Homo-oligomer: A and B are copies of this chain.
Amino acid sequence: MTQQVSGQTFSERPRAAVMEDVAARAGVSAMTVSRVLNTPEKVRPDTRARVLDAVRELGYRPNFAARSLVTGRSGALGVVSFDTTLYGPASTLHGIEQAARTHDYLVTIVNVTTLNRRSIAEAVNRLRFQSVDGVVIVAPHESAADGLHHLPPDLPAVVVGARESLPVPVAAVDQAAGAVRATRHLLSLGHNTVWHLSGPEDWIDASARVEGWRSVLTAEGRQIPDPLRGDWSARSGFEAGRQLARDPEVTAIFAANDHMATGVLRALREAGRRVPEDVSVVGFDDVPEAPYLWPPLSTVRQNFTEVGRLAFRLLLERIDGRTATPHRMIEPELVVRESTGARPTPR
């Protein structure tokens, strides 16, 4: 059955080696090869060596589909995320992937455009049928909660960034604590109160930051201005900033993320209000460019990479059947730069 001219009819290359080929070459049964690969300690050292030689010589790689069909395991993890172009989710994903890689897991991602019960179920199902061993769900929206309460009970899952206690472990940054730090910092500089530009309504991080900010003002007996609402974008920060710039009472602004703070900075400039001489501004996230804005932005740093690592650790505990820590918080850190200063002395 010689192959003649090209024709590309059938690959002239011999088929990829399968377990049986390795077994034949090593003079053992396929089962022994399987054992060498999965439970090497149960095979006599010299047999093991012979098998491993054969594996190497044939360039054998086990067929993932076959293994996964019979074991129900895949060595892959699923990540359901909302929008991986945002700085936070992208960094979290990166942290998860990094941790997974060092433990020989692969990461499969599914982005969803909306977070609700149906979209989460659908994404999880897609992953489940790819036989992932577990899923991490990055769910920064309040509206995701419903979906998170109805995850399939037999699939190890971990949630990143959810608020309340769930039937699954949660890894999150303590948003409220970050907001508390930002607000206290501004008050400590002498400002009478702090205006807040919050994130969009449905976001957990946004409302947690509002709560942290409000709690400090309440505790200190300060006036609590109505928070303005943005959508995380620099554009919305700019618009809110224009509004705030008009009010001479405003001397301290806490923006719920750095991009909005960027817009606020610009709006203040354009309105002729100097930062930090006239108005102090604090952001949230500590995006890489924050130190190089003008002026360098004081902000609250969230260690997303750490969150990703934590999420992976929790998931691994789940997969291995160890009882997992139910809820773990990572503390954010206030980073003071030059966008915050003492309250201007009233003339």
B residues near A12, Cβ cutoff 8 Å: 153
| A151 x B10 contact (CB < 8 A) | yes
- Give the contacts of A142-161 with B (CB-CB under 8 A): 150-154
In whole angstroms, how far apart are the Cα atoms of A152 and B9 in the complex? 9
B residues near A90, Cβ cutoff 8 Å: 84-85, 90
Interface size class of A (residues with CB under 8 A): 35 or more
B residues near A292, Cβ cutoff 8 Å: 233-235, 237-238, 259, 262-263, 266
Q: A154-B13, A266-B293 are in contact. Are A109 and B97 (CB under 8 A)?
A: yes
In whole angstroms, how far apart are the Cα atoms of A211 and B136 in the complex? 43
CB distance from A35 to the nearest CB of B (A): 19
In whole angstroms, how far apart are the Cα atoms of A66 and B265 in the complex? 56
**A69 touches B (CB below 8 Å):** yes
Partner of A65, one of B65, B93, B110, B265: B65
| B294 x A131 contact (CB < 8 A) | no
Partner of A108, one of B62, B106, B150, B233: B106
| B234 x A125 contact (CB < 8 A) | no
| B98 x A94 contact (CB < 8 A) | no
B residues near A154, Cβ cutoff 8 Å: 11, 13
In whole angstroms, how far apart are the Cα atoms of A10 and B122 in the complex? 10
B residues near A233, Cβ cutoff 8 Å: 288-289, 292
Partner of A63, one of B13, B63, B69: B69
- Give the contacts of A133-178 with B (CB-CB under 8 A): 150-154
| Identical copies of this chain, number | 2
In whole angstroms, how far apart are the Cα atoms of A107 and B77 in the complex? 11
B residues near A87, Cβ cutoff 8 Å: 85
- Give the contacts of A241-263 with B (CB-CB under 8 A): 259, 262-263
- Give the contacts of A56-111 with B (CB-CB under 8 A): 61-66, 68-69, 74-76, 83-85, 87, 90-91, 93-94, 97-98, 101, 106-111
B residues near A238, Cβ cutoff 8 Å: 292
A64 nearest CB neighbor, chain B only: B131
**A300 touches B (CB below 8 Å):** no
Partner of A259, one of B108, B131, B288: B288
Which of A7, A117, A259, A294 has most chain B Cβ within 10 Å?
A294
**A34 touches B (CB below 8 Å):** no
Given contacts A64-B65, A85-B87, A269-B294, list 20 more A-B pairs with CB under 8 A.
A7-B150, A9-B117, A9-B118, A10-B150, A10-B151, A62-B129, A64-B130, A65-B65, A65-B68, A65-B69, A75-B130, A76-B108, A76-B130, A84-B84, A234-B288, A234-B291, A262-B289, A263-B292, A266-B292, A266-B293
